[in-house]
Amino acid sequence: MFICYIRTRLLGAKRMFVLPVILLLLQYDWVYAEHPQLTTPSGSIKGSLLTSRLGKTIYAFRGIRYAEPPVGELRFKPPVAVETWNGTYDATKDGSICPQPTAGDPVSEDCLMLNVYSTKLPKGKDNPKRPVIVYILPGAFYSTTSVSYWAGPQYFMDQDIVFVTFNYRLGSLGFLATGDKESPGNYGMKDQVVVLKWVQKNIASFGGDPDSVTLLGYSAGSWSIIFHMVSPMSKGLFHKGIAMSGSPVGGWPIPTGQLDIAKKQARLVGCPDDTSKNIVNCLKTKSAKELGDSFFGFREFGYDPILIWSPVIEPEHIPFITGQTKDEFSYSAFNVVNNETLTKEMNEDWDRIAPISFIYERGTKQSLKVSRAIRKFYLDDKPISKSNREALGKIYSDSIETFPINRAVKLMAQYNKKPVYYYRFSFQGRYSHFYLPGTNNTVPYGVVHHDDLIYLFYIQRLFPRFNATSPRPEIDMVQTLTTLHTNFAKTGNPTPTRNPTLDNVKWDTFNLDTQKYLDIGEKLVMKERMYEDRVKLWEDLYPLSMYN
């Protein structure tokens, strides 16, 4: 700017008008740098700046409304997409959190918002058209949020991708299903479809490629991906899937309705439960907070069941990755053995409690058969105590995660015409979502559900931020996981070439003969037949022929 000023003085007073123009342009550049602005098919939008783990500038557009607020007559109805807006949309900060129990932050039903992160925006006709990763949140369909302090993009954005996160309706607001026209359900899933359509329409404006969209989902998000793969509503809206620690194809049939849960929801907030119409009409009058806080009334045994609401039934052939952590929900056993009341109740009423805790059918001859078989196999028919806590933990993990995920990967390998990859995440760093009791949150119990997310997202409320100067081994795992996921998003192959960052491993596809999987620990190692004996027990108890 100083050089430009001197030059205009030398050119004479008649050229001094150039100076304000230059200053205006410089001011515009400064404003753009602080608040990047672009135009999408939906309208003009203004964002903000973040910084990646390794120092890249992230163009962040947060809190973009993709559907009308689902309030009033739009509660328990399919989403109404926001097609366009007037003026410049302010996407400089996080949007609202959807109603859920003990959110810790203000919640609002006006929460159907998404976030887009990019490190290279289009300039004129130059569009980088980078692969897009759309992240579907965990939370058992009743909790969590996409706000940047829970799903921080700082680790992923060191890779050359465009990253999208979003909220969708949760709990009864997202999945109330009476089994009839009063409330067919799946509102949260239909929210997700609107997001995928929004991505197809707008993502090129952020430097993304609408023809290269990978869905990344964890737990409930993993369930969601598998549902999208078989849903005609989602056909053509994505091209690859990474389903982490979750599968809907276990020892339970996918429901066509959840009227019993809808009735319980009604009773919990003082509504009649005699007809679907009365249930829905009354629930529309209740506050979102009241509905979210009523969640704890669904618990039947300690913290169980872990899963309550789920999508209902109303295949796409794509490259697919799925897998699980080493210990998944095994920490749930601590809640039982460290509570004398729960231990006594489980021991004395095993046949009733087991289907609640391990999520399979109740009150049938089959459920009794399953309860007796797993008690014999895992516990040798011995009472629950601290001495067999590890065995009890395996029942939690195998019933809720290991068996359903193993069944999903086998079905995918059998029927999917595209490559299928399987993994186990066994890396144990210094941080975890569950620490051994009495260690003041310093000694991780193992590698539990959500622990791999520590290395994909900056979870500001729970864990430190890993930067370029952070100690190993955590920063190495950040690089490993984000590289594997980005490779897959770009090529459909997580290890397209030998790479020292990935221990030069070749991740072989899964097939029914060898059943190979990648063990992601301190080193990346190919192995075969994960938890074979334990999986066989559940396959024998729930053969696929039962659902034919």
| Cβ atoms of 396 and 333 closer than 8 Å | yes
Burial 225-237 (b: 16+ CB within 10 A, else e): bbbbbebebbeeb
Nearest C-alpha neighbor of 425 from the set 327, 305, 316: 327
CA distances to 259, 265, 286, 323 from 270, rounded to whole Å, are: 16, 9, 9, 41
Q: How is residue 81 annotated by DSSP?
A: B
Q: Among residues 76, 99, 98, 102, which one has the least CA distance to residue 296?
A: 102
Whole-angstrom distance, CA of residue 178 vs CA of residue 181: 8
Are residues 291 and 173 in contact, defined by beta-carbon separation less than 8 angstroms? Answer: yes
Tally of CA atoms within 13 A in the half-sphere of 472 that contains its CB: 5
Closest-CA residue to 474 (of 506, 495, 452): 452
Residue 305, preceding peptide bond in cis (omega within 30° of 0): yes
Q: Residue 511: CA atoms inside 13 Å, Cβ hemisphere, count? A: 7
Phi, psi of 229 (to 5 degrees): -65, -25
Radius of gyration of the chain, Cα coordinates, nearest whole angstrom: 25
Show the tokens assigned to 493: 């192959």
Of the candidates 469, 101, 461, the residue with the CA atom closest to the CA atom of residue 291: 101
The CA distance from 238 to 116, in Å, is 16
Catalytic residues: 219, 328, 449
CA dihedral 366, 370, 372, 375 (to 10 degrees): -170
